[in-house]
Structure 1
């Protein structure tokens, strides 16, 4: 492979032609999974860590080497000598089922019709995502995971791994994630979905071949989401009550506070890389997440897991407050799981699990040292 940015490629796909039985009861397939590998597997493939991404994430956790032109979403967390050390472990991350970054989702072509799935895509859950990841690991010949690591929706996947495949998982690291969504979080998600479905260009999900796309709706959904990822303190520090440079707020409604400009920028940025229908399906998967639902309760679900667990809360998280992580830890302790709880004092809100590498590092290093 030529070490130039123009020809650089470390992105792989795995195609599974057999139908999956989804949690909704439907058969679905074929499924293509996009994934990336960081670091090297040892000979017996026992040094593998699975990283699971958040809502609008993808498989590109970090740069593979200096020739990789694209920065990853956990660039300061994963790499040689970093807290998730690629010189010791092999890290795998795949785009989730229902996504739009290479794995089969609503924007994929249905081979039976030759058209994009759109809203004909079936309802999916966090469990379905995990089962697809398991099929990928089977394909790669990985039968043991040192750990499953994730924040937010990724943390939900880590929890689901622990209860669905407890014999395979040595440990889990769950950051800023609950055992199920509270009504307030579901409400936030519904407002975001309404922003998309009320966009006149959404067209009941059938917009892929149209000139106009539901960009305004997806942008607005992202703006709402970004508010839940911040905190009052972080917004005050970043923006205060300052107007955007050169804007006189008494002159025109088109002039903006800095915080308004930031939200508009984040909305437009997501539109460039994400599919509106995927946003609908993935937020619904979040809503449906309930650890232990198919086990008859959380105690029945957790009792089979014999590995270690690290649960990390972010002090200023308004989306999944620390009380939810503490409740999860109590559930684990009640079921004799070897669990640690750590709380990061951070002004960054929910996004702290993506930002606070310096505060996370000693916690992660200490946890891995015990594995």
Structure 2
């Protein structure tokens, strides 16, 4: 029982578990509905075709007659559209509920807020996630796509979101924002549709995925590719086991990098129950065992191919522009960049460099810091502390 409790505690730090790490909800938290956007087909930026495209989304607030009071919230690598509100009175709140809702920094009495699942969403086996990706059935064959699914880029995420916004009647975005991979999407939006966007707020993001980050993404993928059950992505046939071990190890790498030392300090160097690493090489410390259990539980609602397609989309961030400055130079918006000083994924330097580039280009840009013990994840769980600068930014 003690090990189970420790595993659940470790799971509270997973990026993709908004139910676990969401902050307590104020009384005014809204009930939101998960909806589905569908399109007969989508042509990817590299010329591939995805038929029967579906993504999930949720909204709060009311779109005004001009269609220009919309806010788009893009989610992080292992997140979903559940950024705010509750799906039912007894359900947990979304991960950014502390700053999105009636009277909050992103005020749904004033703004129409939209958040959507991405293509190739990691949480494909979670029944609240709606996404099209390698695990979906290819209508041409009647079987899961596997790695025949077209490679998608960050820009493809934006193009699908644009189609969703068009279907809702959105003409202009008062703000586009998101954390981590959501920040990358926000920046990609600013470059792709500069005439449509008033403000950009990337949180724990970066203006580039440089060779150092490319290498880390390759490390994230490695356990999946090494798992013999992966079979080059061909593991959906009846009787075949998915590469759960490789996916769990990949998720463990991501979650440790997305934290900081204080977040795991509670484990100390205690031994897992009944274990003695000084006597047996296979025995575990408590921190290792808890992370192993949480990683495997997380892997069971995820998909390995979706993980790989997501890492590739991150590697293809802003790939259609000659440089970061060429991309940022297209923006006409005001910028509020939110960074965590102890971030070990998109380090503070990335954010300082992006703000400096924006200022060289003559764009209004401010940097604020979100602090706490969780490193990168401060930008997911700690946003209440930067509510005041966000409110001021939206008042400009």
The verdict on a shared fold, with TM-score over 0.5 as the criterion, is: yes
Query: How does the TM-score come out when normalised to structure 2?
Result: 0.84
Aligned residue runs from structure 1 range 167-206, under 5 A = 167-206=195-234
**Counterparts of 2:370 and 2:56 in 1: how far apart (Å)?**
32
Quick check: 2:32–2:85 contact (8 Å CA) kept in 1?
no
Higher mean C-alpha displacement, 74-83 vs 174-183: 74-83
Aligned residue runs from structure 1 range 23-38, under 5 A = 23-38=45-60
1:359 maps to 385
Query: How does the TM-score come out when normalised to structure 1?
Result: 0.90
**Counterparts of 1:37 and 1:44 in 2: how far apart (Å)?**
17
**Counterparts of 2:212 and 2:293 in 1: how far apart (Å)?**
25
Q: Is residue 280 of structure 1 aligned with residue 308 of structure 2?
A: yes
How many residues are aligned here? 359
**Counterparts of 1:40 and 1:224 in 2: how far apart (Å)?**
40
Among residues 286, 296, 310, which one is paired with 1:258 in the alignment?
A: 286
Q: For residue 91 of structure 1, report the CA deviation from its aligned partner.
A: 1.2
Quick check: 2:120–2:310 contact (8 Å CA) kept in 1?
yes
**Counterparts of 1:351 and 1:102 in 2: how far apart (Å)?**
24
**Counterparts of 1:158 and 1:71 in 2: how far apart (Å)?**
23
2:139 maps to 111
Distance 1:64 1:227, change over 3 A: closer
1:3 maps to none
Higher relative contact order (CA 8 A, sep 6+): 2
Quick check: 1:107–1:116 contact (8 Å CA) kept in 2?
yes
Distance 1:68 1:234, change over 3 A: closer
Quick check: 1:315–1:346 contact (8 Å CA) kept in 2?
no
Quick check: 2:137–2:145 contact (8 Å CA) kept in 1?
yes
**Counterparts of 2:85 and 2:325 in 1: how far apart (Å)?**
39
What are the Cα deviations for residues 9-68 of structure 1, in whole angstroms up to 9, with x where unaligned? 821112111442x22233433421211112332343322100000111111123346526
1:14 maps to 37
Q: Is residue 77 of structure 1 aligned with residue 105 of structure 2?
A: no
**Counterparts of 1:254 and 1:42 in 2: how far apart (Å)?**
61
Aligned residue runs from structure 1 range 29-108, under 5 A = 29-64=51-86, 67=89, 69-99=91-121, 100=124, 101-108=129-136
Distance 1:255 1:39, change over 3 A: farther
Q: For residue 253 of structure 1, report the CA deviation from its aligned partner.
A: 4.6
Root-mean-square deviation (Å) = 2.1
Which consecutive residues of structure 1, in runs of 5 or more, have no partner in the other structure? 1-7
Q: For residue 230 of structure 1, report the CA deviation from its aligned partner.
A: 1.0
